[in-house]
Amino acid sequence: MAEKSIGMDMESHPSSTITLSLISHTNIGKTTLARTLLRRDVGQVLDQAHVTLQNEQFILLETPDGLRLNLWDTPGFGNSHKLLKRLHGRSNPIGWLVSQVWDRLADKPFWCSQQAIQNVRDEADVVLYLVNATEEPSMSGYLHPELELLAWLNKPVILLLNQTGLVDHERRRQVESRWNHHWGTQAVVYDVMSLDAFTRCWVQEGVLWDRIAKVLPEDRQFLMGKLSEAWREKNLHTLHTSMRHIARLLIHTARDREFLPVERTGQSKKSLLKRAIHAMDQRLTHGISSLTTQLIALHGLSGEGAPTLQSRLEDVTIPGERKPWEEESFWSGLVSGAMAGVASDVATGGLSHGLFALGGAILGAWGGTAYAKSQDERDPQRISWVPDFLDRQTRDALLRYLAVTHCGRGRGDYNAPREFPLFWQQATEEILTRHKSDLHQAWILANATPKPKNPDEAEIFLIPILSNMSQHILLKFYPEAKNWLKDTLL
């Protein structure tokens, strides 16, 4: 986009503060986005026009040395044509009296729109102008007069596309390009980017701060850079903490085991193995639910972890039984598929109602891979998860992380998605393949004899691997974040 110059009253901007005004046509989602950016509930979110009736200022970020990023949530634009005409007459005392007194009593929404535009004029360094990306850019009749209002105020505007949903990079780029083509040529519009109030990721917020810095005067860019760096450190800390929780669950799962009784108890080996796997599955499911709750809290959301779901094992067998319909390659695969299905059910919040488990069992039956068996020739009665299953749990844990970190605070409680976008799964499996040898080294370390009073060597080894994997996945979705994320990658 071409460089644009703008006149700014520098004395009105404290040297330690950057102020953003969030504005849009009414009922586009400003307050929902404000909640997402602030990580807390503010204002009211209702499916009706003119919910926000006054300007509200919030601290978006504050550093220990007193630097501050402020965010104003403003009333939405209503009748833009009427508002533009009225504001042009504000120098007339009678016109001022009408706008401040009569409008306030007789036309409250119109008066609120005046307050919004006054806030932008008096407070904003940069205007974040939110639009509905599901509309055709050329059909949004309110856009032209509203941008004319903002041009009249002479403040830089970044056009934010809301309600884009979870789409891959190429689809998001196409939507941005279409809107840029129609409205990016407006003198007041300095940039166009997507930032969905419900499905944005913290990585996109970092990109937004970079875009804001670029449209500020040079003597303000340094301040925005310091604020961006403080934000970056805070969010990377959240990412690494999330990976520590995931590593702890995975290492605990790698060490989990059940022991089959040596002497017969009146039950078949198949029944004993089935009971052992059920017990391990229940512990894993509880761990997954706890992990999800931890991730939700870390990201400033509310809600509960995924509900537990019992595995649906049709049958199991012990290696060594060679009945035609109970070959190890068949029944171990059935266990494999059912367990993988349970993991999928938990990852989706149990909303698939066991369909993944049933489908996984059928597919797994022909895969010939056991997910839980004895891995120790010296102790064939010990049952534990095999590396391939632990790899699958790593994939599912990273998918859960992506689900949580893409959830905007929006309307309140976190709700587990019914399904993950296919491009999430593909990117996660691709990065998993590249790190498979590292993961298997972690599973070996998990089962090594621990050194007393020492930190958990397996967890310490696994955390940076998971952090690196998650950041590579995010960069695949948001390559524009490479400049500020690349220094943390291995």
The amino acid present at 447, given as its one-letter code, is N
Mean pLDDT of the chain: 74
The amino acid present at 152, given as its one-letter code, is W
pLDDT digits 0-9 by tens, 436-445: 999 999 999 9
Whether the Cβ atoms of residue 306 and residue 293 lie closer than 8 Å to each other: no
pLDDT digits 0-9 by tens, 158-183: 999 988 888 888 888 888 888 888 88
Reported confidence tier of residue 92, pLDDT bands at 50, 70, 90: low
The mean per-residue pLDDT over the stretch 329-350 comes to 41
Name the fold adopted by 10-200: Rossmann fold (3.40.50)
- Identify the residue whose tokens are 């940076």: 464
Reported confidence tier of residue 100, pLDDT bands at 50, 70, 90: low
pLDDT of residue 399: 92
Give the pTM: 0.79
Residue 406 has pLDDT above 50, yes or no: yes
Rounded CA-CA distance 63/61 in Å is 7
Rounded CA-CA distance 31/28 in Å is 9
Reported confidence tier of residue 315, pLDDT bands at 50, 70, 90: very low
Name the residue with higher pLDDT: 18 or 88. 18
- Residue among 188, 192, 118, 191 at smallest CA distance from 155: 188
Long-range contacts of 395-398 (CB under 8 A, 24+ apart): 395/425, 395/428, 395/429, 395/432, 396/288, 396/343, 396/344, 396/346, 396/347, 397/246, 397/249, 397/250, 397/288, 397/291, 398/246, 398/428, 398/432, 398/466, 398/469, 398/470, 398/473
Residue 384 has pLDDT above 70, yes or no: yes
Residue 97 has pLDDT above 70, yes or no: no
Reported confidence tier of residue 327, pLDDT bands at 50, 70, 90: very low
Report CA torsion sign: 415, 418, 422, 425. Answer: positive
pLDDT of residue 85: 65
pLDDT of residue 110: 62
- Residue among 62, 66, 75 at smallest CA distance from 21: 75
Whether the Cβ atoms of residue 383 and residue 255 lie closer than 8 Å to each other: no
Cβ neighbours around 448 below 10 Å, total: 9
161 φ, ψ (degrees, to nearest 5): -95, 115
Rounded CA-CA distance 182/180 in Å is 5
Name the residue with higher pLDDT: 240 or 55. 240
pLDDT of residue 1: 44
Does residue 421 sit in helix, strand or coil?
Answer: coil
- Residue among 395, 70, 37 at smallest CA distance from 196: 37
Residue 5 has pLDDT above 60, yes or no: no
Name the residue with higher pLDDT: 112 or 137. 137
pLDDT of residue 30: 81
Domain locations in the chain?
A: 10-200, 237-488
Report CA torsion sign: 348, 351, 357, 360. Answer: negative
pLDDT of residue 285: 85
Reported confidence tier of residue 38, pLDDT bands at 50, 70, 90: confident
Helix (H) or strand (E) holding 168: none
Written as one string, the DSSP assignment of 173-207 is HHHHHHHHHHHTTSTTEEEEEE--TTT--HHHHHH
